[in-house]
């Protein structure tokens, strides 16, 4: 059984468990590194601050009682919302968890009056890009953040929420 759970600041241990698992399993997919969120970076106040981004919607997918995926929506620019921290555990991939997380963030964004939902994805992450394209996201041709190699850039995609 799949259920979505909205997390609050006090749920930071759940977010921490998933985020560290995501950074360990798919380091190629994120701008942050596991090392940045371990050791001195692994502090309750820091995790709470992440959960308390003003206006954010933090969601966890729970499959058969276990957290299996995560995503956040945060206020963006020009009546938009940004989808960040999206990850699905390998055991849950292909089971609709990613679809549910995207639909939930899009629903929440539209409900708050956002006209678009945007995200950044690593250019080599073809599986994630295909998931986003299935949900109506398109390449914006906007230059994303510079990658660690100093030459490549994240792919910035957006979805129009005004026709939903």
**What phi and psi, each to the nearest 5 degrees, are found at residue 28?**
-70, -15
For the chain, the first-to-last Cα distance in angstroms comes to 27
Give the list of residues 6+ apart from residue 110 with CB closer than 8 angstroms, or none: 161, 164
Domain at 2-160: CATH code: 3.40.630.30
Helix axes 126-134, 97-111, angle to 10 degrees: 50
Q: What is the pLDDT of residue 141?
A: 84
Q: How many CA atoms lie within 13 A of 163 on its CB side?
A: 5
> Where are the domains positioned within the chain?
2-160
- Tell me the per-residue pLDDT of 85-139, one tens digit each, with 9 for 90 and over: 999 999 999 999 999 999 999 999 999 999 999 999 988 899 999 999 999 999 9
Q: What is the pLDDT of residue 148?
A: 77
- Tell me the per-residue pLDDT of 104-119, one tens digit each, with 9 for 90 and over: 999 999 999 999 999 9
- Tell me the per-residue pLDDT of 4-24, one tens digit each, with 9 for 90 and over: 999 999 999 999 999 999 999
């Amino acid at each position: 059984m799949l259920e979505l759970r909205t997390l609050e600041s006090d749920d930071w241990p759940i977010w921490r468990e998933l985020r560290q698992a995501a950074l360990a399993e798919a380091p190629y997919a994120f701008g942050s590194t596991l090392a940045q969120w371990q050791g001195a970076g692994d502090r309750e106040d820091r995790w709470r601050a992440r959960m308390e981004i003003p206006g954010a919607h933090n969601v966890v997918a729970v499959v058969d009682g276990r957290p299996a995926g995560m995503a956040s929506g945060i206020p963006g620019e020009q009546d938009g919302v940004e989808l960040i921290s999206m990850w699905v555990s390998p055991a849950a991939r292909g089971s609709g968890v990613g679809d549910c997380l995207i639909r939930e963030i899009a629903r929440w964004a539209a409900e708050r009056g956002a006209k678009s939902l945007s995200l950044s994805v690593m250019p080599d992450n073809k599986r994630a890009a295909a998931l986003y394209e299935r949900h109506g996201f398109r390449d914006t041709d906007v230059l994303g953040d510079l990658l660690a190699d100093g030459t490549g850039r994240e792919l910035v995609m957006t979805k129009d929420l005004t026709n939903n």
